[in-house]
Chain A
Amino acid sequence: MARIAIDPVTRIEGHLRIEATVEGGKVVDAWSSSTMFRGFEIILKDRDPRDAWLFCQRICGVCTTVHALASVRAVENALGITIPDNARLIRNIIAAIQFVQDHVIHFYHLHGLDWIDVVSALKADPAKTASVAQSISDWPNSGAALFAAVQKRVKGLVDGGQLGPFANAYWGHPAYKLPPEVNLLGVAHYLQALEWQREVIKVHALLGSKNPHLQTYLVGGVAKPVDPNSQNALNADGIALMNQAARQAIDFVSKVYLPDLMAVAAVYKEWAGYGAGVGNFMTYGEFPNDSRSNSANLLMPRGIIMGQDLTRVLPVDQQKVTEQVTHSWYDYKEGDGKAKHPWEGETAPRYTGPKPPYEFLATDAKYSWLKTPRYADAPMEVGPLARVLVAYAAGHKRAKELVDSALAQLKAGPAALFSTLGRVAARGIETLLIAEAIPGWIGELSANMMQKGDLRIHEGEKWEPATWPAEAKGYGLHDAPRGALGHWVSIANGKITNYQAVVPSTWNLSPRDAKGVRGPVEAALIGTPVADPKQPLEILRTVHSFDPCMACAVHVVDTRGRTIAATKGA
């Protein structure tokens, strides 16, 4: 029996560590750990709750908008503030652009390389690649000359020994199955995605007044004025720019991302049989249709699916969210056995793990800096698959169309969704669904400004701490690209007394709970084939399908090498 350790797993920012035991060419057990302390909550104590989002947006560079949104929602919930409609629309547009950009980048620049062999692209025939491209999409940039140019550029990098972010991958691994032409197509679109993202992200610069690190979040609304008669506000020019970016987003997702995803999925169909995970899925839902605090009237519905049962969508009650520390390097005052709701949450670190460098973690004891979130005592997978399954099971029309069409193309039934491939497909499907919703919000915003003369962006009635109750508690829910994100805040005498964030990657990568039940990624790895324990590409496929953001989960960036090291144990 071989035990392998992969550390870190994320290509961009990572302190995620996976240990797995492999027997007979398959994973028989797995542990996921974060090896860096999280605890930014400590920094927020005693601060003005109106400033919390400014700190939260620095938790992670990939998800700045995400934490800022959850934070202002939590404080608004605590203080009983209802934001103006324009603020809801601007927040929806910012969040939707974040989703679209994030998912496309994840597919082409992170996860795609688990399926697409860059080195194999050198063997492709550019003319044949053009025919493949034209057979799956009417995207115009698909000529043989373009593919030949991309191939030449990759060859230059390979010959110069400068594969860069590709250098650590397992090129030539037997688990790579795409023909060279599809690999070349993937590499070409990797480059086109880079060019595309700069156009789409212009919406953030416009609405955020500043990018990176948007400055327009504000407890009670947004700090982005809307006024058709002002050059300094969001006006008709801004609306036109956003409409153009939304069209480009829909175009790229429908004509490049989804066709590529389906072309890859068709070759890797066996991955619909791996990576099922815990079978429980939770989403807070996202993109509110009205301005009520944590409104349940949403584009993508809120809900829970238990035990892969698509016939029932259960409601979400945030009171049932708890965190345990049985296997996490923290102490609870009442002892480790306790499951605490975030309002009562504690962040008292105590490392008891091995002194680095070490070969393996002591997984029988505490083994992670992540806590163990549970909903009504059960582990929950969060993220695109949870959102798409809940929407599908709830009868969401567009979600059903897109899911059924993808399943028909792959000649598979809904059971195929509970898998690594299902997770990858769900991410693409929801990207289109969300991108398609953006023009509607822009239209509403435009109608408010131009026709109704509604220029309100901020509710200031409860801005001054003198108007607040002596004590208040609130929660802010945001289903972020990586899944259910909740911020919980307690306020007394105008200051934060406790702040807890339960982030998507903590749900998905949680260690075992007090009863020894595995977290979603740990469970998903069971049964994954591993052709060569020294090159555990297959494990990475399933882990990356969750799109872990350990910078998020651990709140720091990489301080060590990025090498994906694998060691073989006894």
Chain B
Amino acid sequence: MAARVRLLELQLLVLPALLGIVGLLTIYLSGTGSTRWSWSDIWVSLVFMGMVLGTSVWLSLIGFSGDQVLFPLVAMLSGLGLLLSQRLQLVLQHDAGWATLAQRQLVYLVMSFGLLWGTLTFLRRLDWLRRYKYTAAVVGLALTVVTMLFGVEIQGARLWLDLGVVTVQPGELVKVLLVVFLAAYLDDYRNLIATGYRLGPVTIPPLPYLLPMLVMWGLSVLAVVLQRDLGNALLLFGIFLAMLYMATGRIAYVAAGLLTFAAAVWVALHLFSHVMVRIQVWLNPWSQPLHAGFQPIQADYAFAHGHLFGTGLGFGFPQFVPLVASDYALAALGEELGLLGTTAVLGLYVLLVARGTLIALRARGSFVRLLAAGLTVVLGLQTLIILGGNVRLLPLTGITLPFISAGGSSLLTNFLIVALLLKASERVGELR
């Protein structure tokens, strides 16, 4: 089939490409206070622009016929993330790492684009993944266990594996593996799980078929809890419930799941003191204004300072918020881009979820549909949990904001998800 130009995608990509250039110029000029600049000041944006447009052209060349809206959305978000890292680089003290924050983020982004190209070019069929569902489960569990045993602790959570040169966060990949496993398994046993055994008027859930899933899920949640990573526990739980519901369409499972979750929260509250502290700090950060509450208080100040239109890139004080680049990316955006900026970012994520759902609905093959829907839930739920924490809708957790937060593992994983979604969208609108 002849290469068809992905015109819509190219048109949509003009926006993120310009965003990178204008944003970086603003950041640079706000520091110097003049209007003189040279091309070398914005080489990072030019690289970004090249990658984004190059990817689209490459996709046209290989005759990729998938969704044309998803990639511009992702480009926009990751462009914002790149801008944020360039912005924060100016004010953050040099932190430990093999390069500066801005350089690292650029390298991660290049790697992520590489991953996207590679996946789209070499992965023939998504159905291929379903054959490896138990492999995915085992690898996922193994990664979790390894992290638990040999991980290094950063900020009270043991989530990182130190590989000498870099530290990676295997938990990010585990989410994708879990979705792959759940999608394949649920697709295989969907009918059995949905109907259950009838015993007079009572329907008993088919425990033997639920069991492997429950074990897999229970072990990952347990590991996550032992690692004190509450955000990921909530995320895994949400993924599990959502996929169970999507596969069976039975609300009873969701209700039962929520009940067990409430019970688990209650137990955790009494068992782990740090959970209690989290909740207290969430409800009233002023109870510990110098310790645990310091970060949310400073983030509130940053949001409030942003007001409607923000101070403009380069004119805020994101350095006042501790760990702003990983935990509180939205606060930094909120201060400099204002309420308009933050709602726009929210809008981008909503569009991303909507597009992902649309891809899942249009995809062919029940496994691919479940996989796409599950991956969309991963993105949407993760965003929701961390943003909810940032705006104090939920207790704050240490998970990353997809595409925007600094961090390589998270960026690579999210690009993998996007690649899989794009793959799932292939043949959309085509007659078979």
Q: Do A and B bind each other?
A: no
